[in-house]
Structure 1
Amino acid sequence: MPMLSIWFFRTAILFLIAGICLGLYMSITHEFAATGAHAHINLLGWVTMAIFGIYYALNPVQAASRIARLQYFIYTLGILVMAPSLFLMLSGNPAMEPLVAISSLVTFSGVLLFAFILFTRKA
């Protein structure tokens, strides 16, 4: 399996752990304002990163490219900043909104880069 797939899977499982911890926190405290952050951590962090990992496992030639590694780092950076800033914003800190917006655009650029890889790179 390509190392890039392993990076995606390892990062995905860390996001799953974070998502479960946030879900447990919300359940214990009965404070559900940050449900959107919980959903983003699980869907963009756990599910989407695992799908990226599967794709690269099935396409090792593409996984070996520099652009694929760049896609990993851009997407991961976006989620790493977006998730906690979204949590803080939804928990009552509106000053986080610009950081959420910027990190969302970084995350989206990682998705667009994956789309570019998917549609233009030969296996």
Structure 2
Amino acid sequence: MRGIGFYFFVIGVLCVTLGMFWGIQMSISGDHMLAGAHAHLNLVGWVTMALFGLYYTVTPSAAASVLAKLHLVLAIAGVAVMVPGIVIVLKGGSDAMAAGGSMLTAASMLLFLYMVIRYGLGKPA
């Protein structure tokens, strides 16, 4: 059965794949104006999601909680709103979407902090 850790990891791999192709496109075109958004996609989308996925894989008690599902939704929403929002800002537009995505991402991290404190790391001894 595929658990919550798997879904976090799949999202992370999707983000890094998109990030790699975006980076290649920027390199080929010589236009690095959106490098900040690309970096957030790779860091928040890949690294953070993968770490969340690993945590839930090694801590099944946390993975089984309803809060883990909420965490997945918040984390995905954060990246999905923040990265395009950063693109909008870098192109001279409003920062509202980037700010909203950042708040979702921060809420996701606060929920993760709670999960780590509540469930610890790894299987109970």
Give your verdict on TM over 0.5.
yes
Q: Secondary structure at the match of 2:20?
A: helix
Alignment of 1:69-88 (within 5 A): 69-88=69-88
Q: Distance in 1 between matches of 2:46 and 2:16?
A: 5
Alignment of 1:42-61 (within 5 A): 42-61=42-61
List alignment gaps of at least 5 residues for structure 1.
none
Report what 1:37 is aligned to: 37
Q: Percent identity?
A: 36
Q: Deviations over 1:50-91 (max 9, x none)?
A: 01111111001110100011011111101011112212321x
List alignment gaps of at least 5 residues for structure 2.
none
Per-residue deviation, 1:25: 1.6
Query: Does the 8 Å CA contact 2:16/2:46 hold for their aligned counterparts?
Result: yes
Report what 2:17 is aligned to: 17
Residue 113 (1) aligns with residue 106 (2): no
Q: Which one of 96, 99, 102 corresponds to residue 97 of structure 2?
A: 99
Q: Which has the higher helix share?
A: 1
Query: Does the 8 Å CA contact 1:2/1:56 hold for their aligned counterparts?
Result: no
AA of the residue aligned to 2:33: A
Q: Distance in 1 between matches of 2:74 and 2:6?
A: 17
Per-residue deviation, 1:93: 3.1
**How many equivalent residue pairs?**
121
Q: Distance in 1 between matches of 2:28 and 2:85?
A: 21
Q: Distance in 2 between matches of 1:72 and 1:28?
A: 34
Per-residue deviation, 1:120: 2.0
Per-residue deviation, 1:102: 1.1
Report what 2:27 is aligned to: 27
Alignment RMSD: 1.4
Query: Does the 8 Å CA contact 2:78/2:104 hold for their aligned counterparts?
Result: yes
